[in-house]
Amino acid sequence: MKSRTRTKSGKSRLQLLHQYYAYTGFYAFVWQAVRKALPYIVAIILAIYAINHFFDISGALTRLTEILPTYGVLSFFFVSETILGLVPPEIFIAWAGKMHNPWLYLGLLAILSYGGGLLSYWMGRSITKMPSVHDYLEMKMEKQLKNSRKWGGFLIIAGALLPLPFSISCIAAGVIIFPFKNVVLYGSLRLLRFVGYGLIIFNVL
C-alpha cells in the first residue's frame, strides 16, 4: 500500500505544493515584494539604530509605561498598533508581566493589537478611495494587484506571526482590497503570537 503522503502522480504533497507555488508565481511574488521593501526596511532599521545610539528609545518607552496610568498605556499601545506599529510590543508585554494579573493584561494587549490591525485595514481601504491613488493602482499596477490579492493571506499571516509591523500588513491588505473576512480570519493568528511571547517573557521575568 502506498504512503498516504503520495498522490496518484507519485509525488508527495509537499512536492505538489511546491510545484503549485512555482507555477502560480508565488515565489516570484514574494521575492519581488521583499526586494522592493528591503531598502525601506534597512533604512528604518538604520534610522532607529542611529536614534537609539544618542537616545535610549527602549528605556524611554519603558519609563513611559511606568509613568502613564493603565488606561494610558493601553491607549498608547492601541494607537501604536493602529498607526504603523513601529513600537515593539515586547515592551508592553513586559509591562503586563509586572501587573497583578499579567495574563489578563496580556489578553487585553492581544485584543488591542488585533483590533488595531483591523482598523488599519480600513485605513488602507480609505487610501484607495483617493482618485489619484485609485487610478494609479488600477492602471499601472494591475498585474501586481492581481498577484497581491491572490497571496494576500500570506501577507496577513506573516504580519501576524513574524516580528513585522502587523499594522503595515493590514494597511497593505486594505490597499489591495483583500477580503475583510479573510483578514479577520488570518489576522486572528496575532492572538497566538502574544500567547507565545507571554510564555517566553513571563518565564524570564
Please provide the average confidence, as pLDDT, over all residues in the chain.
Answer: 75
Q: Which residue has the higher pLDDT, 127 or 57?
A: 127
Burial (CB count within 10 angstroms: exposed 0-12, middle 13-18, buried 19+), residue 157: middle
Q: What are phi and psi of 29, to 5 degrees?
A: -65, -45
Q: What integer pLDDT is reported at residue 63 of this predicted model?
A: 78
User: Is residue 149 over pLDDT 50?
Assistant: yes
Q: What pTM was computed for the model?
A: 0.69
Distance, in Å, from the CA atom of 185 to the CA atom of 7, rounded to the nearest integer, reads: 29
Q: Number of C-alpha atoms within 13 angstroms, CB side, residue 142?
A: 4
